[in-house]
Amino acid sequence: MTTTAKVISSVIDGQEAVSGGGEYVSRNPSRLDDVVATVTLGGPSTLADAARSAKRAQREWAAVPPPVRGRVIASFGRLVEANKQTLAELVTREIGKPLAEALGEVQEIIDTADFFLGEGRRLYGQTVPSEMPDKQLFTFRVPVGVAAVITAGNFPVAVPSWYLVPALLCGNAVVWKPAEYASASARALAELAWRAGVPAGVLNLVYADGENTFAGLEQALTEGTVNKIGFTGSSAVGVKVGELAGRHLQSACLELGGKNPMVIAPDADLDLAVEGALFSGFGTAGQRCTSLGSVIAHVDVHDEFVRRLTAAVENAVVGDPREDVLYGPMLDQKFADNYERMLGWIADHHTVLGSTATGRITDAAPRAGFLGDHSAGLFYHPVLLDGVRPDDQVFLEETFGPLVGVTTYRTLDEALELADRPGYGLSASVYTTDPTTAFRFRAGIGAGMVSVNNSTSGAEAHLPFGGNGRSGNGSRQSGIWVLDQFTRWQSLNWDFSGKLQKAQMDVATI
C-alpha cells in the first residue's frame, strides 16, 4: 500500500505557521496504517495570532463591494465543482464516509455557494419612517468583524462551508479551526477558497488541539480580535464555548448534538419508515448531529415495525466506504472509544436485534455481508435495541454511533413528551398518513427541524439549520437566516431639517 501523507500546518496570512502544540497524525479510519496527513499543531497563542492577522485583513475585505465578494463566492463554488470527485475521495479516505455521501457533501458546498453568490447583491437594509419631519431612518447590515469558526469532522467540508461562505460574503475575516482528524480535507477546502480569490489574511486555517484552541480563543477574545464564534460539535464542548463567549460579551452560533426522535404513528407507511430509520439511524455510522436517536413507535405497529427494521439491519451492507455500503468506519479512534463506552449503556432489559454482536467487527465477531477488510479499520456492528425505557441513559443521551433504541407510546401527547424528554431539540420526524397528526406533531415538538414522512437527517442547505436546548442556543445556520449571525444591524438617523429635532420630546403632530 502506498501512502501520500503530507506534512501540513496552520496557515496564517498565507504563511505556513509553525508549531508549538505537537503533532497529530490523521489516519484513514478504514485502514489505520494509511496516514492521510501529518499535522503540525499550533500552540496556545496560534489562534490569537491568526485572529490578529484576520483583523488586519478584514477592513480591506469589508470595503470590497458585496456583489464583488459574491463573485469570489461564485468562483469558489465553480472550483469546488471542478474538484468534486477529488475532494469527495479525500473526505472518504480521511473520515470514512461512503463515497456517495461524500459526493453529496461536496455538492452541499456548491449549493451553499450558489445560494449566497446572489446574496452579495441583496444584502438589503431598510428605509424606516421617522417620527419627525425632514428626517429619514435607515438600517444597514454590517460585518461582525472576525469570526472564529470551530468545526467537527463528520461533515469536514460542507458544515464549515455553511459558516465560511456567508461569513466571507458578508465581509468578515475568518479563523477556521477544523477537527484534527479532518485536517487534510480542511486544507483542501481552504486552498480552493484562496484560489477563488479569498485574500490570504481573510481566511486563516489553524490546527490546534482542544486545550490550545481554548487558550488561543480566550486570548483573542481578551484582545478583542474575535467578534463571533461559530461552533459545531458536542453539547459538552458547546457549553464551554458558550461560557467563554458570554464572559467576553460575544455571541456564539452553537450547533451541537441531538437525540433525534422518529415517531411511528399507527397509520404510518411502515416500509417507508423502515427505510428512513435505517438511513438516519445507521447511515454515516450514526455520526451526524441529525442521526436518528430513538424510534418511538405506537404500540399497535411496534412489533411489525421492529420485525421489518430488524430484517433491514440484518441485510445492511457495512464496510469499505469506497464501495456501495450503508456505512463505513467510525470517524477516528477517539469516536470509536467514546462509542464503546456508550455501548456499556445496554442493559439486561434491552433486546439486541439486527446483529449477533454489539461492538467492533472482528474475526471473533464477524459480520455477514461486510465488504472489504474489517481487520484494519474502526468498523462497528449496527445495534438495534428494543425495550428501551424513557429513563435509560441510551434513551436520554446522544450515542454518535450505529445504535438505535426503540420504545413505545399510546397517545400523540405521550409521543411528544417522549420525543422532547432528552432535552435536545435538533431534528424530529413523524411517519403518518394523517395530516392532523403531522400538523399536531409539528406544532407540539421542541425541535428546530421537523420532518414528516422523511428521516431525521438530510436537511437541505437553504432552510434554517439548528436546534434548541442541548442542541444549541437557538442560532440558525443556512439560508438567509444565517445572515443574522455574520452581520449586525446598524441604524442611521439622517436629519435634513436644519434644526435640532429631539426624539421623545418633540414628536410632530398634525
Catalytic residue positions, numbered? 289
Phi/psi class of residue 400: alpha, beta or left (left: φ > 0; alpha: ψ in -120 to 50)?
A: left
Number of H helices, E strands in the chain: 15, 22
Q: Of the candidates 150, 159, 208, 274, which one interacts with ligand UN1 according to CB under 6 A?
A: 159
Give the separation between CA 394 and CA 446, rounded to whole angstroms. 20
Residues 6 or more apart whose Cβ sits within 8 Å of residue 394 = 342, 345, 346, 347, 350, 385, 388, 403, 405
In the shown chain, the binding pattern of residues 448 to 467 toward ligand UN1, with x for contact by CB under 6 A and - for none, equals ---------xxx--------
Residues 6 or more apart whose Cβ sits within 8 Å of residue 19 = 9, 40, 41, 42, 43
What is the sign, positive or negative, of the torsion defined by CA atoms of 213, 214, 218, 221? positive
> Judging by DSSP bridges, how do beta strands 15-16 and 135-143 pair with one another?
unpaired
In the shown chain, the binding pattern of residues 279 to 298 toward ligand UN1, with x for contact by CB under 6 A and - for none, equals ---------xxx--------
Smaller CB separation from ligand UN1, 8 or 289: 289
Q: Letter for the amino acid at 415?
A: A
Smaller CB separation from ligand UN1, 289 or 415: 289
Q: Smallest distance from the beta carbon of 296 to ligand UN1, in angstroms?
A: 20
Q: Smallest distance from the beta carbon of 288 to ligand UN1, in angstroms?
A: 4
Q: Letter for the amino acid at 82?
A: A
Q: Smallest distance from the beta carbon of 280 to ligand UN1, in angstroms?
A: 8
Start-to-end Cα distance in the chain: 85
Q: Smallest distance from the beta carbon of 439 to ligand UN1, in angstroms?
A: 22
Smaller CB separation from ligand UN1, 10 or 475: 475
Smaller CB separation from ligand UN1, 266 or 458: 458
Smaller CB separation from ligand UN1, 143 or 469: 469
Are the C-beta atoms of residues 90 and 188 closer than 8 Å to each other? yes
- 232 scored as a contact of ligand UN1 (CB under 6 A): yes
- 161 scored as a contact of ligand UN1 (CB under 6 A): no
C-alpha cell at 152: 467537527
Smaller CB separation from ligand UN1, 95 or 144: 95
Half-sphere exposure (Cβ direction) of 188: Cα atoms closer than 13 Å: 24
> Judging by DSSP bridges, how do beta strands 173-177 and 146-150 pair with one another?
parallel
Nearest to residue 484, comparing CAs of 127, 126, 116, 142?
142
CA dist list (Å): 323 to 51, 217, 328, 358, 372:
41, 40, 9, 23, 8
Map the footprint of ligand UN1 across residues 291-350, applying CB under 6 A. none
Map the footprint of ligand UN1 across residues 96-155, applying CB under 6 A. 154-155
Smaller CB separation from ligand UN1, 34 or 397: 397
Q: Smallest distance from the beta carbon of 107 to ligand UN1, in angstroms?
A: 11
**How buried is 458 (Cβ within 10 angstroms: 0-12 exposed, 13-18 middle, 19+ buried)?**
middle
Q: Smallest distance from the beta carbon of 360 to ligand UN1, in angstroms?
A: 23
Question: How many residues in the shown chain lie near ligand UN1 by CB under 6 A?
Answer: 10
Give 202's DSSP letter: G
Half-sphere exposure (Cβ direction) of 225: Cα atoms closer than 13 Å: 23
Q: Smallest distance from the beta carbon of 148 to ligand UN1, in angstroms?
A: 18
- 179 scored as a contact of ligand UN1 (CB under 6 A): no
Question: What angle is formed at CA 19 by the lines to CA 87 and CA 196, rounded to 5 degrees?
Answer: 35
Q: Smallest distance from the beta carbon of 21 to ligand UN1, in angstroms?
A: 25
Write out the residues near ligand UN1 by the rule CB under 6 A.
154-155, 159, 232, 288-290, 457-459
